[in-house]
Amino acid sequence: MTQERWQRLTEWPLIAASVLFLLAYAWEVIADLHGPALAACETLIAVTWSVFVLDYIVNLVLAPQRGRWFWTHLFDLAIVVLPMLRPLRVLRLVTILAILQRTAGNAIRGRLLLYVACAASLLVFVASLAVLDVERPAPGAHITTFGDALWWAFETVTTVGYGDFTPITLEGRFIAVGLMIGGVSLIGLITATLASWIVERVAERDESQDAATVAHIQALEAKIEALTDALGR
């Protein structure tokens, strides 16, 4: 079996595993589960984690150049090593959506904007769960409910930072740093996309004006030639 065939076969199972992980983790954190319910969630999370470990190992074994594949897929390794990153695989759902625009440039730009919107929503949601998970048990924590965590995540990802909710644990601060970096990166993507759209529109307008000018000059040249022929007679 080739690596491409394996990836085609496992695309939807990995998406399903991502969704199951996200649902189980969200239920565990928001509901603050204990007892059998917590054990069930932990079991489901462990199963989905094993699916991604298997996928990573098989891809590494099937890769034509294993060393190069390893260094160019460090994010996949992070998904296996850091369980919090596994829900990011759910962004693959975007690839099955219809093309947003007809032209190639608009299709690429539309898909990028859709990725950015999905990534921003998922980033805020996952960061809310993560910070609530590590902050709630800490003595003197400011973030103790999912509503507080969600509000904090929106503040942080937009780099507003009102300061009404702040993480006090080391893990929570690491999550905040990652969320701020992600927010700045997403804003940069949006800005770059809008800038490229403006440049493209200006270029199209210049081209249309140039074409009109050339046509006008050609018409004048034709009239001058006709007038010269008439005078020559």
pLDDT digit string (tens) for 55-108?
889 989 999 888 898 898 887 787 777 665 555 555 544 444 433 343 434 545
pLDDT digit string (tens) for 100-131?
343 434 545 556 666 677 777 888 888 898 88
Structure token digits, residue 37: 């319910």
Degrees (nearest 5) of the Cα angle 154, 160, 165? 65
Section 145-164 average pLDDT: 86
Query: Do residues 53 and 47 lie in contact, with contact meaning Cβ atoms separated by under 8 Å?
Result: no
Q: Does domain 97-195 have CATH number 3.40.50.10490?
A: no
Q: Which residue ranges make up each domain of the chain? A: 1-93, 97-195
